[in-house]
Structure 1
Amino acid sequence: MSLRELATYVNREILEAAIEQSERSVLDVDVESVYERLTSDDVSEGVRTRSRRRLERNGVDVEAVTSDFVTHQAVHTYLRKYRDVEQPEQTDDQRRESAIERIQKLQDRSAAVTQDTVEGLQRVDIVPDGDVDVVVDIQVIYTDSGEQYNVFDLIEGSPT
């Protein structure tokens, strides 16, 4: 597992333990979905608030649970400091894959925020109504040579 995946795993276990100790059975709840609704940037504030309130009504102290959540950095520190775990050196392909994944997440998030913003402005008649698709295209320009590349083509080693 990556550090982020490990932190997510630990956090889901923390949430599951809190739900098991509450008035609700863990069988009544999809912990993964609840965790996503509490933590994902892609979830609206309304959905997040409803999820928090539902947990609180069933005896879960959401503030205490979320304050127990760990970050990937905390997992990293623990593994290095207390378990003497060293991260293996990444291959070039792994570095490329990681870079592409990070940029894709940022690109997807930028598109989602932009679409939400435009739709909000449509509701108050600031921008024209209509179905919109948002396209985020990231280009890398080498200022010394003027060459321009799609970021993913550049990283994959096949700039066009």
Structure 2
Amino acid sequence: MSDADRVAVPRQSACSCKIGRTAETYGIEGLDDRLLTDREDGASLRRLETVVNEAVLRAALRGADIDYVRDVSAIYRKLTDDDTSAGVRTETEAWLSRTGVDPDELRGDFVSYQTVRTHLRSCLDVDTTRERSLSVEDAEGTIEWARSRSSGIVERTIERLRDTDGFHSGSVDVTHVIRVSCADCGASYPVETFLERGGCDCDTDG
């Protein structure tokens, strides 16, 4: 691996939050420096989330002694992107398992952008107030991430049942439909419609 592929940080910047613990567990150096530099260059919290998680993935592959030529960013997208098909995600997870990397454990070590915000604010003393208000686009991304994660868990759980006596199933594809209902006006919408129309018809000024 070239020096350019390595992320390396001062030991004194280690902290006890999830990012600090994960960096120490995987031996990731220079992560805080990278986060600070990218943040100063205008990177969003979601972009920094990807930076951290790709560093974790890279370190996991390095720890498994994999002389990989596959692009880490591409592997990460196949594991996490909502547009990734179940088949591609399963194939990628199987490849990781063959290399000695547990995909479920790896995914558990990935962080969210909220975790990045907390790390920046509490551990690195970085002001994150400019992203305090949530945009509709950010909300859509968060909801899609949660829905994809939930669907993936259900799908993998059902697939594991195939080894159970008396349970039979072909290749499954789980769809998670989310609706938002307002207790005040009684309206109910698919979450996509709710976001697109700017909420329900409640008059907050009234």
What's the TM-score bracket when you normalise by the shorter of the two chains?
0.5 to 0.7
Local SS of the residue matching 1:133: coil
Greater Rg by CA: 1
Q: Look up the match of 1:60.
A: none
1:32 has 2:64 as partner: no
Offset from partner CA, 1:66-120 (integer Å, 9 cap, x none) = 9xx99556754565575754443577xx611111111111111222222222222
Q: Look up the match of 1:137.
A: 177
Question: Take 2:67 and 2:159, find their aligned partners in 1: how far apart are those partners?
Answer: 39
Q: Which runs of 5+ in 2 are unaligned?
A: 1-42, 81-85, 201-206
Q: Contact 1:34–1:51 (CA<8 Å) still a contact in 2?
A: no
Question: Take 2:53 and 2:77, find their aligned partners in 1: how far apart are those partners?
Answer: 11
Q: Look up the match of 1:126.
A: 167
Sequence identity (%):
29
Q: Contact 2:54–2:72 (CA<8 Å) still a contact in 1?
A: yes
Structure 1 residues 150 and 25, CA gap change in structure 2 (3 angstroms): closer
Among candidates 178, 191, 205, match of residue 151 of structure 1: 191
1:8 has 2:38 as partner: no
State the TM-score, normalizing by the size of structure 2: 0.45
Structure 1 residues 144 and 116, CA gap change in structure 2 (3 angstroms): same
Structure 1 residues 77 and 25, CA gap change in structure 2 (3 angstroms): same
Cα RMSD after superposing both structures: 4.5
Q: How many residues align?
A: 141
Amino acid in the other structure paired with 1:133: D
Structure 1 residues 7 and 89, CA gap change in structure 2 (3 angstroms): closer
Q: Contact 1:111–1:135 (CA<8 Å) still a contact in 2?
A: yes
Among candidates 101, 106, 109, match of residue 141 of structure 2: 101
State the 1:48 CA deviation: 4.5
Amino acid in the other structure paired with 1:112: G
Amino acid in the other structure paired with 1:126: F
1:117 has 2:157 as partner: yes
Mapping of residues 56-75 of structure 1, within 5 Å: 72=113, 75=116
State the 1:150 CA deviation: 0.7
Q: Look up the match of 2:130.
A: 88
Q: Look up the match of 2:37.
A: none
Amino acid in the other structure paired with 1:32: S
Amino acid in the other structure paired with 1:130: G
State the TM-score, normalizing by the size of structure 1: 0.55
Structure 1 residues 85 and 136, CA gap change in structure 2 (3 angstroms): same
Q: Contact 2:66–2:99 (CA<8 Å) still a contact in 1?
A: no
